[in-house]
Amino acid sequence: MEQKKAGGRTLAGDAYEAIRQAIRTGAVKPGDRLRFADLQALCGMSVTPVREALARLTAEGFTVLDDHRGYSVASLSLAELRDITATRQLCEGEALRLSVLRGDADWEGRVIAAHHLMARIPQAREDIPSAMREDWEARHSVFHAALISACGSPSLLEICGKLFSRADRYRRLSVSLVGATRDVTGEHRRLMELALARDAEGAAAALRDHYGRTAAALEGFFTT
Amino acid sequence: MEQKKAGGRTLAGDAYEAIRQAIRTGAVKPGDRLRFADLQALCGMSVTPVREALARLTAEGFTVLDDHRGYSVASLSLAELRDITATRQLCEGEALRLSVLRGDADWEGRVIAAHHLMARIPQAREDIPSAMREDWEARHSVFHAALISACGSPSLLEICGKLFSRADRYRRLSVSLVGATRDVTGEHRRLMELALARDAEGAAAALRDHYGRTAAALEGFFTT
DNA sequence: AAGTCAACGATTTTCGAAAATCCTCCAATT
DNA sequence: AATTGGAGGATTTTCGAAAATCGTTGACTT
């Protein structure tokens, strides 16, 4: 997440992106075993770069490794959703608080720009309303990153980034619930307004609430 | 840190331990390049397991990777020490608070046992007073892990564990300062007492203070 | 004298196959 | 009937060498 830019520099990087995408999109499901033979066929390369890709994915919690039994897709659970949500509220809440306190004009610009880009396109796809638009997801991620980008703590940013990726898998489950009783767009705008108004505590509280609502909307998937 | 137990299951695991130890003990210094040829000689194995070990170490922040330029030992800096300290105060402080609130009798037992083991042996070596005893380091780690073990959040525990390992590299720099104006033993006992007395806020505050003092004692190394 | 570029050496990265390990299944024994 | 033991197959893990890449050196041009 920090040292590589795009696909093409190394095959291991390509494999990382390919497998990550397969997990994100649900092409391989939680709990599925990831056989090297299949992955080599999917990525079109030998075992070595695939192995390195899986090592990175495991570090980020997308896959798990059992010695001599190979890798498999990390499974999802209600317990983990709640756990990750709580940790995210703690870490990203504090990161936002610091960011609001320390942010300069440049940071304000990044937040406004990111929000504008995200608000300009709809969240759901037109052809399949139950699915999220890929580009909206990307801009949504950029917006949240922009909010905390001025916190001044690389380690906190790294943690938040990993937790965001991890929560992303759960978020994709909930798209069909979108439009029910929730105003996600409004929550995002309010988040931006509080940040720009330099209300550090208020913004942090709004962010925690935002994540709490997201988690609550997702809980239904595990009770059924 | 979560799926492998001891050295011997896989060569990659052995390599991970060996290289990690080389970094911890200072056999290879911050900023040093880690050539595969040297590492293969050190570990007595081929390139593949070494590569996997470096991937894991990089995920934990011990090493860094430049595409096509290979791996090198992550460098230390005052800025990172301060950053990690702050993030540790946030995450481990909250973890301890939760642990004190949720901990049961079993947790109390773990804390008392871990503290007893740590307090039973001196911190510094007898032959080289400026060096830390390897076994004390291990028990110290177990004690801190025991304190937060009842927090109920796997993700938080994972974060705390990684931050602890990362801070460990800095801690080793400060051994020669031990015994100056600090009562580390007293701080640890107080920490345990507050935890067992179920003073969640007090214990969390004491832990943050504990880490703050450790960082302060280390700052001198970077100003000289 | 400064700058450009190609070839070389050092090193990483990748490959394809061999070795090691685990799981399954079936027969033999208790 | 249940358990042990081990052969067979599938898969991971590791190896040693080949391919790709980067940094540098040194000749050549301007």
A55 at interface of B, judged by CB pairs closer than 8 A: yes
Whether A69 CB is under 7 Å from strand C = yes
Q: Which protein residue has its CA closest to C1' of C23? A: A69
In the structure, how far is the CA atom of residue B35 from the C1' atom of nucleotide D21, in angstroms? Answer: 15
Q: Any bridge partners for residue B33, and if so which?
A: B72
Tell which residue, B162, B149, B158, has the closest CA to residue B111: B149
Q: Any bridge partners for residue A132, and if so which?
A: A124
Q: What's the rounded Cα separation, in Å, for the pair A80 and B145?
A: 20
Q: What's the rounded Cα separation, in Å, for the pair B107 and B99?
A: 9
Q: What is the CATH number of domain B11-73?
A: 1.10.10.10
Q: What's the rounded Cα separation, in Å, for the pair A52 and A70?
A: 13
| Packing angle, helices A200-223 and A154-171, rounded to 10 | 30
Which of B1, B101, B155, B162 should we substitute to test contact with A (largest number of A Cβ atoms within 10 Å)? Answer: B155
At residue A68, what are phi and psi to the nearest 5 degrees?
65, 5
The reply to whether residue B51 touches residue A56, judged by beta carbons under 8 angstroms, is: no
Q: What's the rounded Cα separation, in Å, for the pair A107 and B206?
A: 34
The structural domains of chain A, with segments of one domain joined by +, span 11-73, 78-223
Q: Is A64 helix (H, G, I), strand (E, B) or coil?
A: strand
Question: How many other C-beta atoms can be found within 10 angstroms of the C-beta atom of residue B201?
Answer: 12
ipTM of the complex: 0.91
- Tens of each residue's pLDDT in chain A, 224 residues: 333 334 568 999 999 999 999 999 999 999 999 999 999 999 999 999 999 999 999 999 999 999 999 999 999 999 999 999 999 999 999 999 999 999 999 999 999 999 999 999 998 888 887 778 889 999 999 999 999 999 999 999 999 999 999 999 998 886 665 556 688 899 999 999 999 999 999 999 999 999 999 999 888 878 76
DSSP H helices, chain A, are 11-25, 36-43, 47-59, 78-102, 105-119, 134-148, 154-171, 184-196, 200-223
Give the nearest nucleotide to A71, CA to C1'. D12
Q: What's the rounded Cα separation, in Å, for the pair A93 and B85?
A: 18
Q: What is the CATH number of domain B78-223?
A: 1.20.120.530
Q: Which of B52, B84, B166 sits opposite A51 (nearest CB)?
A: B52
Residue type, B108: E
